[in-house]
Amino acid sequence: MYHRLLVPIDVQHNSSWQKALPVAVEFSRMLDAEINILSVVPDFLAGMDWRYAIRGETGGSEAYDLKDLMRLAEERLKDICASNIPEDLAPRILVDSGNPFEQIIETAADIDADLIVMAALRRSLKGYLLGPTTARVVRHADCSVHVVRYIDED
């Protein structure tokens, strides 16, 4: 049925993966499926340095080094995986840059993903709508998408 899962993670928001990652782990166990964890560093940043956000800090600077940000995102993903995915599942870590929606769709196609497991924010009245990235992935993905709802607690 499903053999290769893709789990896009926003390393800036813990609540976005705290619900979706356990679901992906459960699917992986039930289906004996490979887990691929993806983080996308946007290639446009206006006056904000994501290095601070990736480390969970506030503040920032106008310095912007995409390779450095991607390295920091990869380190953060490794930490998240080490703490939340059993070693025997050996997740594959993927970091890319660009538009998150486009990179999720492109990565899913590149790795031949069967299922994308991703979070969608539920916030008051907006809770009736999917976030823009999640909604676009649901509409345009060539594979199935499992949406895990969460309430923003960050």
* Tens place of pLDDT per residue across the chain (154 aa): 899 999 999 888 887 789 899 999 999 999 999 999 999 998 755 444 555 555 555 554 455 678 888 999 999 999 999 999 999 999 999 999 999 999 999 999 999 999 999 988 765 444 445 568 888 999 999 999 999 987 665 4
What pLDDT, on a 0 to 100 scale, did the predictor assign at position 152? 61
Residue 108: CATH number of its domain: 3.40.50.620
This prediction has a pTM of: 0.81
Q: How many domains does the chain have?
A: 1
Q: Helices 132-140 and 100-110 meet at what angle, rounded to 10?
A: 30
Distance CA 123, CA 153 (A): 10
Cα separation, 58 vs 13, whole angstroms: 13
Asked if 27 and 33 count as a contact pair (C-beta separation under 8 A), the reply is: yes
Task: Give the residue among 119, 121, 104 at the shortest CA–CA distance from 36.
Answer: 104
- pLDDT of res. 47: 44
- Residues pairing with 146 in the sheet: 117
Domain residue limits at 36: 4-150
